[in-house]
Amino acid sequence: MTKIADILRRGLTISFEFFPPATDAATARLAETLVELETLAPSYVSVTYGAGGTTRERTHDLVVRLRRETAMTPMAHLTCWIGLDDSTKDN
């Protein structure tokens, strides 16, 4: 697994940040956007985590999708003050 620290050591980096979509229409639009942005070969992409962990499952699902369906290196945000429970430790 690629570590963000290793990417940053390589020099200039370009990254994009995504918020997990809340609707089917937004999911379809993000899929189109991912195809377009992948051609720019970002150093990594990050997926934000909603306030209070409200998008936790969607964040996880998007990171998994990015790893499986693209060549982009994803990084998931983790809200530590609420995110450190048993389910987080297992993932």
pLDDT per residue of the chain (91 residues) written in tens, 0 to 9: 778 789 889 999 999 998 888 888 998 999 999 999 999 999 999 988 766 666 778 888 888 999 999 999 998 776 665 555 565 555 5
How many CB atoms are located within 10 Å of the residue 17 CB?
11
Active site residue 57: no
Give the pLDDT score at 72. Answer: 94
DSSP 3-state of 46: strand
Residue 44: beta bridge partners?
15
Give the pLDDT score at 82. Answer: 55
Dihedral of alpha carbons 26, 27, 29, 35, sign: positive
Catalytic residue among 17, 32, 36, 38: 17
What is the spatial distance between Cα 11 and Cα 82, in angstroms, rounded to a whole number?
A: 33
What is the spatial distance between Cα 58 and Cα 47, in angstroms, rounded to a whole number?
A: 9
Give the pLDDT score at 15. Answer: 93
Give the pLDDT score at 27. Answer: 87
